[in-house]
């Protein structure tokens, strides 16, 4: 039987709307984001998708996206596992700054490196910065040394890989239909693994918000094909909007 893994980037968040670096900052969905999430669920329902298990991050925007999508599918009963390892890339001291303003100040090329380069980290938070995850209750029990003050995409994928190998892959092996609701960079890591995308090419991958991304896999979890559900022109528009976020005004 063909296995299906569906990736769903969270709907528009309040800081997506304000074009700010978000990272591990826990912001909510906008009304549009909630609509995107529910519409994604309706689209998956219409396509006949039914899931065995779901995964999401520790961040509200991804959790609510998952819940709204499952509500639209009448699958709120589905077993869900949350993990910090599916969190967005940590943007360090950039978190809260406007992306376009930051590009105007430091240059679009530098901001693109901070956002997307495989092994370039944004400026780090200091250990006493109140934005540091070590001060948040949700991360209690996680070794302080494992909690980032900034991350490159390489770092983000690096902390994702053990969870992918030890938890998600076994879940896919035991089940046929898995849904992951997460973030642009953590999902970029999953796509990189599934499609074996080279380090220097991953910078060009733009995952649109609220668009179910389906991967069909064989019994050995080899990729058969991948595709988005929904209108191709709308998906392309959302992907371009993601690409345009860091352009200086």
Confirm whether 88 is a catalytic residue. Answer: yes
Confirm whether 132 is a catalytic residue. Answer: no
Burial class (CB within 10 angstroms; exposed 0-12, middle 13-18, buried 19+) of 5: buried
SS3 content of the chain, % helix, strand, coil (to 5): 45, 15, 40
Q: Which residue out of 14, 36, 88, 144 is catalytically annotated?
A: 88
- DSSP 3-state of 248: coil
Q: Which residue out of 10, 90, 132, 183 is catalytically annotated?
A: 10
Does residue 157 contact residue 190 with C-beta atoms inside 8 Å? no
H helix and E strand count, the chain: 9, 6
Q: What are phi and psi of 187, to 5 degrees?
A: -70, -30
Catalytically active residues are 10, 88
């Amino acid at each position: 039987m063909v296995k299906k893994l569906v990736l769903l980037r969270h709907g528009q968040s309040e800081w997506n709307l304000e074009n700010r670096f978000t990272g591990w900052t826990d912001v909510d969905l906008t009304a549009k984001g909630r609509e995107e999430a529910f519409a994604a669920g309706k689209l998956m329902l219409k396509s006949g998708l039914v899931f065995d298990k779901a995964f999401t991050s520790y961040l509200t925007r991804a959790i609510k996206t998952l819940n709204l999508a499952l509500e639209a599918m009448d699958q709120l009963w589905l077993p869900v596992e949350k993990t910090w390892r599916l969190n967005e890339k940590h943007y360090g001291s950039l978190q809260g700054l406007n992306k376009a303003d930051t590009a105007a100040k430091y240059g679009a090329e530098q901001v693109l490196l901070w956002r997307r380069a495989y092994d370039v980290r944004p400026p780090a938070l200091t250990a006493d910065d109140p934005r540091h995850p070590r001060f948040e209750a949700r991360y209690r029990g996680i070794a302080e040394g494992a909690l980032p003050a900034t991350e490159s995409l390489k770092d983000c994928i690096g902390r994702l890989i053990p969870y992918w190998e030890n938890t998600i892959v076994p879940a896919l092996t035991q089940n046929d239909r898995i849904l992951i609701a997460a973030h642009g960079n953590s999902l970029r890591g999953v796509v990189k693994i599934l499609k074996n995308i080279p380090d220097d090419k991953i910078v060009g991958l733009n995952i649109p918000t609220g668009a179910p991304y389906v991967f069909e896999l064989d019994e050995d979890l080899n990729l058969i094909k991948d595709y988005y559900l929904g209108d191709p022109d709308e998906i392309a528009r959302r992907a371009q909007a993601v690409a345009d976020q860091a352009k200086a005004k």
